[in-house]
Structure 1
Amino acid sequence: MTKRELFLRTFKDVWHYGQEGFFYKALISTFSSAIPFLNFIYIAQILTHLAAKDFDHVYQLIIQYLILFLILNTLVHCLKPIVDKKHQAVLRKMTALPNEKLLVMNFHYADEATIKEKIHQINRDQLQNNSSFKVIYHNTYLLIEALIQIAFALILLAPLWQAESFYPLNWLHPYILNSILIIIIFVVIILQTILSQKTMQGMDKLSGWLIKINNTFNYLALNLGEVEAGKEIRLYHLQGKIKQHINQFMNQFDTFEKVYFGGFGKVRLVNSIGSQLITGSIYLLIGARVILGNLPVGSVVQMIGGINQLMTSLVKAMAFLNIFAQTAPMERFYELMDLPDEEAKGSIPIEKRLDNNYQLSVKNLSFTFPGAKEATLHNISEDFEVGKHYAIVGENGSGKTTFIKVMMRLYEPSQGKVMLNKIDADKYSLKEFYQLFSVVFQDFRLLGLSMAENIAVQPNYDPHQINEALDELGLKNFVDSLDKGIKSYLGTEYDPEGVNVSGGQAQKIAMARAIYKDAPVFILDEPTAALDPVAEFEIYQKFAQIVKNKTAFYISHRLSSCRFCDEILVFDQGRIVQRGSHESLVKQEGKYKDLWQAQAQYYQ
């Protein structure tokens, strides 16, 4: 996209999301700007009539002013909370757009580190960059008020532009002064735009570096401030090193401040000089007209009020031009927003079966991450029997978790197909397909909500089923010890009396979530890493009993935990190189025997 196309698209989208906010802002700005306008208009007329000793007219003007002032003030007071609410709602919506996109885009994009970094940078742009989507909306919102104020200010200054005799000061004729003022305003706008662009371009060059040092500083400030970090800090005498990193951050941040404050200092200087020239020119015209006697005394107050309002509003309006300083923030924003969403390829509902007869298979399955040169999975074809338990083993990076994600349709295959009951899985509704799986990933997440809501993943739940799931995993005594039981919040984000659970307890709660869902297919992707080998083996055995009539897949580095499975799939470099029971595989020369012997020595 060209710069013009980029900003046209931006303004179109800004209007789409913010039109209601703009309408209410224009409405309240008209009423609020009319109040000072009335002040100056009526004060000018009152002073003029007082000078002429026309007191009857003065009384009428005062009554009119008070009535209009009361009406306008009431309208502004009633509209303000509505306008603020609409504006905040739009800001929240725009702030959420990148994260909402993350929830609907193809998962293999959402799972990429580069995309996560891009979202981090976009969120940073939204907070401080004048050319970001959210700030463009906010500045457009403020521009509406500035333009309305300028319109009222020009009406107040209208008498200055009347072509009357200026003899002997013909060089102060309004037409001449108009031309001078227009030239000054355009010069100020051009200089401000050029300086703003140079400053923002300099900041954008520093953006990658700034993110790096900000991340370092946030890590030092947040992570090392935790109680758990205190042990290492003391034992390894890290206090001096931490102080050194913080001092280094502060010194490096000075570079950014010089670019930011130096550049925008020049912009403010241009604004100040331009404002003084415009103000001085108008005051010169007012003085000349007063000297010549063709400006009523009351109008002087009106003119001064108009000047002040005009200059204040012009500064606000010219600040809007900063949004054109650079295009990088908008390019980042639309690069993210243009990523493809999850494709709803199929619409066939999945048959609800009490016998859980959902047979999965993959045919010639390959998968390559976007931008990667080599495939992660290579031409895999396998059938999985209903009700059987499968262990998936292999070295790190062999493709185990990627295979599971493709089979669940979180990732779309680059080649080949996932099949459900011998029908292409793409033909089924994606939402319903997801309902077939109860999953615990190794990088599971618990929310700062109640334990029950974490397990049920919804506000409405069956307490009896939740307690049963926790009891199956040996957490009954822990839950019973809590004052609020399953209603206890995890962490203190939403409840200062929330509980902090250990890594092992957190993993069991995540596993209870899978049990509560009770889907036809269970998948455990190394969720027991925080447990000792004996506890892990017991958990897997317990799971095997819980899901004994359902299809299950277990990924684990500890091969001893896989012995209870019906079959073991051995992954190596994106391929399934062996498949069979533990007893058969351990007797064969191959990858599984090598892995088993490497681990068995630690259990002898």
Structure 2
Amino acid sequence: MNSIFSNTKWIYERIRQRAPKLRIWPVLNSIQLLVLVLLQSIIPSLVVWFLQNRITPVITGLCMTAICALVGALYWAQSVTQTWSYWENSVVRLSLMADDGDIFLSVPYQFVLDPDFKQQHLAAGEYGYGGDFSGVALFFPALADASAFLLSVLVATTILGQQSLLIPTVIVITVGIELILSRVFTDYREKIKANLFKLENQHKYFETSAYEIDLGQELRTYQLQAWYMEKLGLVQAKELRLRRRQRYSEALGDTLVGIVSAGRVCGIFYLLFLNFRTGSLTPAEFTFYFSIANIASGYLEQLSQSITQLRNASSDVSTGRVYLDGYSRYTTAQAESVKKVNETNAIGVRFDHVYFTYPHSSGSALQDINLTIQPGEKIAIVGPNGGGKSTLIMLLLGLFQPTAGQIVIDGQPIASGVPAYKTTGFSVSFQNDQLFADTVAYNVAVSDSASVVLVKKALEKVGLADVVQGLPQGLDSQMTRYLASDGLELSGGQTQSLLLARALYRDAPIQVLDEPTAALDALAEKNMYERYASAAENRTSIFISHRLASTQFVDRVVFLENGKILQTGSHDQLMASCPEYASMYHQQEAMYREGEPNEKSEG
């Protein structure tokens, strides 16, 4: 965990960049509070002095009115600056949330699948900067308040020390005790927070999953309501126990601090009383010192609370920094620009002894992959589910990094250059790709400067030209109903065709299609492959599929099982020499005769 000093420097740097005027707030806050302390201390003693010296009611009234007006103006100024500082501080917090999103969208894809990364990301948002009670939201206000209270208390202590050196001694000892108590209870809070965060995630899962449409079907079909409520109840019970311990510890801490504070007040007042008894203080002076001691005691309590809040906020800021600082190199500003490649010629690919293991996994997802894809070659990577097909493509695109070995694209190892997905050399259609809440044209081109001619050409290649032409707004029709109530909703097969059009629109040297026909029936699948084969001339094409229809339209088949390449060759060669491939083909052939299976799978 970072120190308060370290987090103060970190916060000030963000303020300097995003809300520089906010840096003067602690100074303004300290000056305003100090003047208020002095004025509030002077008023009672001034009244006593007026009485002692028989000042006329008119002059007394005028003086009191002027002082009260000044106090009122200071309170008004304090309110205005606090409101202003809240909005400026919110600018900083919201900018950090934007940084959070920028990092999440820019980190290598394999991080997104890492449970540790997910937990860091969730904790950073939950505690670091995700709301008005997060660390960043509370840290700077607590720092400004602590600074102001400390200055006022130091000035008050200096004034009181003129009467008795025992008074500063009492203040220092009691404040020290309060700081120790604050540290003890802050450390205890951290232990509870770590356990509470895990339970909150479990609680959120049960709360949100109950409202998911797909899961709702299973809950009702298998009558799992009682199971669901039991699991939710167990998590809630654990969470409530932890929250109860947290509240009790806070109450105990407040009680102990209150006892110390009360002892400090009584001690200071008793020392002032002794000085008054000896005649070293006039009634007006006693009233002044009594008032400033009373106000200082209140501010000491608030100083203690501010320091406690500052410690807690600093801990939460540190949680946010684990994510923001740890992955700050992965942002739009730091990222390489998209690299242009020679798009006129096909590009070759080579895997040299490539291994890959997922985070927190004991076994390798890919083992000793050696594969050369010639420029312009069309290959199908096939095999049973979980064989490593999609993982292979993630490595090719640079979304994953090999655990061992290297991948060479167009003669250059990808580890020494820009990741493939950041070049113009690839166009990709993933099985689970999503449509964007934008126009048909944007969904095909993924660009605001789409070529209408090329968009229409891509739609025609996948058989969607007539469908789109029949829409009232044609290419300008909105997709999905997230942003438009009349947005277009496509069937599963039409969605996959549109995603294939997206890949064809880019017309990159290497085209990758991951399960491109999973939502199509057998006839539509055959037509799709035939259209694609004619549209992708002079392009290196890689098909990923657990269905073997694609093998009829490619130059070579790569059969992958359990993370290993069992064999490569044409369809006929594999039918003759690879029993696993032949068995899989015959099983699918029998299923097609009985009826097209309607299923989706992941490689």
1:271-305 Cα deviation digits (max 9, x unpaired) = 33233333444454566667755252773555544
Query: Which of 250, 255, 276 is residue 264 of structure 1 equivalent to?
Result: 250
Query: Which of 564, 573, 580 is residue 584 of structure 1 equivalent to?
Result: 573
Identify the residue that residue 565 of structure 1 maps to in structure 2.
554
Superposition map of 1:283-432 within 5 A: 283-284=269-270, 294-296=282-284, 299=288, 304-322=294-312, 329=319, 333=323, 337=327, 351-353=341-343, 355-369=344-358, 372-426=361-415, 428-430=417-419
1:237-279 Cα deviation digits (max 9, x unpaired) = 4444444444444333322222222222222222332333334
Residue 90 (1) aligns with residue 92 (2): yes
Residue 149 (1) aligns with residue 146 (2): no
AA at the equivalent of 1:47: V
AA at the equivalent of 2:88: K
Change (3 A) 1:218 1:272: farther
Change (3 A) 1:463 1:268: farther
AA at the equivalent of 1:256: L
Query: Which of 165, 171, 191 is residue 175 of structure 1 equivalent to?
Result: 165
1:215-256 Cα deviation digits (max 9, x unpaired) = 233322x32xx4x55554544444444444444443333222
Question: Conserved in 2, the CA contact under 8 Å of 1:346 and 1:430?
Answer: no
Please report how far the alpha carbon of residue 589 of structure 1 lies from its aligned counterpart in structure 2 after TM superposition.
4.0
1:375-418 Cα deviation digits (max 9, x unpaired) = 43333333323333211101223222222222223333344433
Identify the residue that residue 188 of structure 1 maps to in structure 2.
178
Query: Which of 420, 431, 446 is residue 457 of structure 1 equivalent to?
Result: 446
Query: What SS does the corresponding residue of 1:549 show, helix, strand or coil?
Result: coil
Identify the residue that residue 582 of structure 2 maps to in structure 1.
593
Superposition map of 1:529-544 within 5 A: 529-544=518-533
2 CA distance for matches of 1:42 and 1:82? 29
Please report how far the alpha carbon of residue 437 of structure 1 lies from its aligned counterpart in structure 2 after TM superposition.
0.8
1:442-501 Cα deviation digits (max 9, x unpaired) = 232444455554444344444554455445444453685466963525342x55665555
Query: Which of 545, 556, 559 is residue 545 of structure 2 equivalent to?
Result: 556
TM-score w.r.t. the length of structure 2 is 0.80
Query: Which of 201, 208, 217 is residue 191 of structure 2 equivalent to?
Result: 201
Question: Conserved in 2, the CA contact under 8 Å of 1:349 and 1:428?
Answer: no
Please report how far the alpha carbon of residue 179 of structure 1 lies from its aligned counterpart in structure 2 after TM superposition.
1.9
Question: Conserved in 1, the CA contact under 8 Å of 2:440 and 2:479?
Answer: yes
Query: What SS does the corresponding residue of 2:350 show, helix, strand or coil?
Result: strand
Question: Conserved in 2, the CA contact under 8 Å of 1:160 and 1:285?
Answer: no
Please report how far the alpha carbon of residue 423 of structure 1 lies from its aligned counterpart in structure 2 after TM superposition.
4.0
Identify the residue that residue 212 of structure 1 maps to in structure 2.
202
1:158-213 Cα deviation digits (max 9, x unpaired) = 543322xxxxxxxxxx3223322322222222123223323432443454455334
1:31-62 Cα deviation digits (max 9, x unpaired) = 65366347526645763664341766975786
Query: What SS does the corresponding residue of 1:397 show, helix, strand or coil?
Result: coil
Change (3 A) 1:210 1:462: same
Aligned length: 581
Please report how far the alpha carbon of residue 592 of structure 1 lies from its aligned counterpart in structure 2 after TM superposition.
2.0
2 CA distance for matches of 1:311 and 1:529? 67
Query: What SS does the corresponding residue of 1:563 show, helix, strand or coil?
Result: helix
Identify the residue that residue 162 of structure 2 maps to in structure 1.
162
Query: What SS does the corresponding residue of 1:212 show, helix, strand or coil?
Result: helix
Superposition map of 1:250-261 within 5 A: 250-261=236-247
Change (3 A) 1:323 1:233: closer
Q: Which moved more, 1:280-289 or 1:147-156?
A: 280-289
Change (3 A) 1:296 1:428: same
AA at the equivalent of 2:423: Y
2 CA distance for matches of 1:35 and 1:8? 27
Query: Which of 479, 504, 516 is residue 505 of structure 2 equivalent to?
Result: 516
Question: Conserved in 2, the CA contact under 8 Å of 1:197 and 1:322?
Answer: no
Query: What SS does the corresponding residue of 2:375 show, helix, strand or coil?
Result: coil
Please report how far the alpha carbon of residue 88 of structure 1 lies from its aligned counterpart in structure 2 after TM superposition.
1.9
Question: Conserved in 1, the CA contact under 8 Å of 2:14 and 2:92?
Answer: yes
Question: Conserved in 1, the CA contact under 8 Å of 2:135 and 2:315?
Answer: no
Identify the residue that residue 121 of structure 2 maps to in structure 1.
119
Question: Conserved in 1, the CA contact under 8 Å of 2:389 and 2:544?
Answer: yes
Question: Conserved in 1, the CA contact under 8 Å of 2:46 and 2:284?
Answer: no
Change (3 A) 1:520 1:340: same
Query: What SS does the corresponding residue of 1:586 show, helix, strand or coil?
Result: helix
AA at the equivalent of 1:262: Y
Superposition map of 1:434-449 within 5 A: 434-449=423-438
2 CA distance for matches of 1:290 and 1:456? 86
Question: Conserved in 1, the CA contact under 8 Å of 2:355 and 2:366?
Answer: yes
- In angstroms, what is the RMSD of aligned CA positions? 4.3
Q: Percent identity?
A: 19
1 CA distance for matches of 2:371 and 2:402? 15
TM-score w.r.t. the length of structure 1 is 0.80
2 CA distance for matches of 1:56 and 1:219? 72
Identify the residue that residue 14 of structure 2 maps to in structure 1.
17
Query: What SS does the corresponding residue of 1:417 show, helix, strand or coil?
Result: strand
Change (3 A) 1:97 1:483: same
Change (3 A) 1:441 1:257: same
Query: What SS does the corresponding residue of 1:577 show, helix, strand or coil?
Result: strand
AA at the equivalent of 2:374: E
Superposition map of 1:231-242 within 5 A: 231-242=217-228
Point out where structure 1 has 5 or more consecutive residues left out of the alignment: 164-173
1:93-146 Cα deviation digits (max 9, x unpaired) = 44455554444444433433443344334433436999x9x6167324422222
2 CA distance for matches of 1:346 and 1:230? 43
Change (3 A) 1:304 1:414: closer
